[in-house]
């Protein structure tokens, strides 16, 4: 991933969403905002997926079956 200031901002936003999603139950409005952010750009979806994979690989977030 390129690390210019735009990418840094997208990466930080993706991390913020991941942390919020896994530390608390998102409200319906928050979930809609996350989906809107993801739908706004293929870069958003790619970076969010990369961040999620990194967190899974490092054990920072539980896998899907452990979240329930």
Q: In total, how many domains does the chain have?
A: 1
User: Residue 1 pLDDT more than 50?
Assistant: no
Q: What pLDDT sits at residue 17?
A: 95
Question: φ, ψ for residue 40 (rounded to 5)?
Answer: -70, -25
Count CB neighbours of 51 within 10 A: 22
The domain in which residue 37 lies consists of 5-20+27-67
Q: What pLDDT sits at residue 55?
A: 84
> Taking the mean position of all CA atoms in its chain, how far away is CA 22?
10
Closest C-alpha among 58, 65, 18, 63 to residue 38: 18
pTM for the structure as a whole? 0.74
- Summarised one tens digit per residue, pLDDT across range 20-59 is 988 889 999 999 999 999 999 999 999 999 999 988 888 7
Q: Each residue of 9-42: b (16+ CB within 10 Å) or e?
A: ebbebbbebbeebeeeeeeeeeeeebeebbeeee
Q: Predicted confidence band at 63 (pLDDT cuts at 50, 70, 90)?
A: low
């Amino acid at each position: 991933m390129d690390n210019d200031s735009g990418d840094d901002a997208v990466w930080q936003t993706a991390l913020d969403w991941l942390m919020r999603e896994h530390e608390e139950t998102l409200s319906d409005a928050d979930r809609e905002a996350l989906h809107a952010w993801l739908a706004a750009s293929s870069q958003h979806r790619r970076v969010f997926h990369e961040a999620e994979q990194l967190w899974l690989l490092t054990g920072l977030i539980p896998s899907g079956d452990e979240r329930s």
